[in-house]
């Protein structure tokens, strides 16, 4: 059974774009039991990097009213998917697809949090404070290579209030796309395990989107999880956005995390339908091929089960208790 930390299927459908990776008809044969399905308010896509060293400009913040309109439309799409809403760890089973309602970037929320309860009642159980661009709550990381995530200030007062309220409601706070100062603010404020649903290792690929060793250590100390992002530009040592990237690069990042903070703290966080994947990993149908790559690299069945689903189930159970 495979639980995945991030996909952008909903926003791809909303934009009337062809689905590239999350073909739900392939789920049963692939052992795909679901995971985090993002509502994401898109910006104009930056041009992909053409050099080894790059710093892509971030788009302007999205006005809250516009973001809320898009999130409402995407929520309707989410509700139309042939999936079960996941609000408990035991909702994931090998015979169906369960979806965590996740908002990637808190722009749709009112800064006074007056609508957070409504979203919770709809099933919201995971929230990313930013999608890289700044909003009323936090600043994310611009897309830079080489760089760490130490790129700006931490959470705003509204952002700190949002983290505290998520802690009370037991909504998972996703640290992916958040800058380093914001990461440490969340670590100080939240009592829940620290989770980055789709991020990698900065020591192996010096992208601003990847986590430094002290950040990884904090995730491990909290009992949290890092979902390995399959996007090639966050995997490769050279940072290139090149689909000719072996699956061994995913194993390399997972092994680094397992060796540093333990195999209990690493999982899958694909970024399917949101990024360029290795050519061999053209969707959920290819996930068994990736699992076999881990077995060939020496991961035993206990470690494979933790990687593919048990770590997510444990962290979700602890966060949503």
Residue from 262, 260, 246 nearest 297 by CA: 246
Q: Which residues contact 13 (CB under 8 A, 6 or more apart)?
A: 19, 77
Instruction: Please give the angle made by the CA atoms of 269, 106 and 156, to the nearest 5 degrees.
Output: 115
pLDDT confidence bin for 46, thresholds 50/70/90: low
- Predicted local confidence at residue 202, as pLDDT: 98
Beta bridge partners of 102: 38, 126
pLDDT of 227 reads 99
Domains of the chain by residue range: 2-320
Give percent of the chain with pLDDT exceeding 70.
98
R_g of the chain computed on alpha carbons: 18
- Check whether 167 has a pLDDT greater than 80: yes
Do 309 and 1 meet the contact criterion of CB atoms below 8 Å apart?
yes
Looking at residues 231-236, what average pLDDT do you find? Answer: 98
3-class SS shares of the chain: helix, strand, coil, % to 5: 40, 15, 45
Indicate left, alpha or beta for 298 from its phi (over 0: left) and psi (-120 to 50: alpha): left
Statement: residue 45 has pLDDT above 70: no
83-112: average pLDDT: 98
pLDDT at position 40 is 98
**Class of domain 2-320 (CATH, top level):** alpha beta
pLDDT attached to residue 302: 98
The set of residues, in sequence order, having a beta carbon less than 8 Å from that of 1 and lying 6+ positions away, is 31, 33, 92, 93, 94, 308, 309
pLDDT at 58: 87
The candidate with the shortest Cα–Cα distance to 186, out of 213, 143, 218, is 218
Q: Which helix (H) or strand (E) holds 172?
A: strand 172-174
Q: What is the pLDDT of residues 279-302, one digit of tens each?
A: 999 999 999 999 999 999 999 999
Q: Where are the alpha helices (DSSP H) in 192-300?
A: 213-222, 248-261, 287-296
Phi, psi at 161, each rounded to 5°? -65, -35
């Amino acid at each position: 059974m495979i639980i995945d930390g991030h996909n952008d299927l909903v926003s791809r459908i909303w934009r009337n774009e062809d689905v590239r990776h999350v073909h739900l008809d392939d789920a049963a044969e692939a052992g795909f039991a679901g995971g985090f399905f993002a509502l994401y308010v898109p910006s104009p896509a930056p041009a992909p990097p053409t050099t080894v060293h790059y710093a892509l400009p971030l788009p302007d913040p999205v006005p809250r009213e516009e973001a809320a309109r898009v999130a409402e439309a995407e929520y309707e799409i989410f509700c139309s998917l042939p999936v079960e809403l996941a609000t408990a760890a035991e909702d994931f089973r090998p015979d169906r697809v369960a979806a965590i309602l996740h908002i990637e970037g808190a722009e749709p929320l009112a800064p006074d949090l007056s609508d957070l309860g409504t979203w919770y009642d709809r099933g919201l159980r995971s929230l990313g404070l930013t999608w890289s661009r700044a909003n009323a709550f936090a600043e994310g990381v611009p897309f830079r290579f080489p760089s760490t995530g130490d790129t700006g200030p931490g959470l705003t007062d509204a952002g700190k209030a949002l983290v505290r309220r998520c802690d009370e409601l037991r909504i998972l706070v996703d640290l992916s796309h958040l800058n380093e100062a914001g990461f440490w603010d969340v670590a100080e404020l939240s009592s829940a395990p620290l989770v980055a649903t789709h991020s990698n290792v900065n020591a192996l690929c010096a992208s601003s989107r990847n986590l430094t060793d002290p950040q990884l250590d904090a995730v491990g100390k909290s009992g949290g999880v890092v979902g390995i992002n399959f996007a090639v530009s966050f995997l490769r040592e050279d940072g290139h956005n090149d689909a000719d990237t072996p699956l061994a690069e995913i194993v390399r990042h997972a092994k680094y995390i397992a060796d540093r903070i333990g195999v209990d703290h690493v999982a899958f966080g694909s970024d399917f339908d949101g990024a360029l994947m290795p050519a061999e990993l053209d969707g959920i149908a290819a996930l068994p091929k990736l699992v076999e790559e881990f077995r060939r690299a020496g991961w035993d069945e206990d470690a494979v089960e933790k990687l593919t689903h048990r770590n997510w189930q444990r962290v979700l159970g602890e966060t949503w208790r």
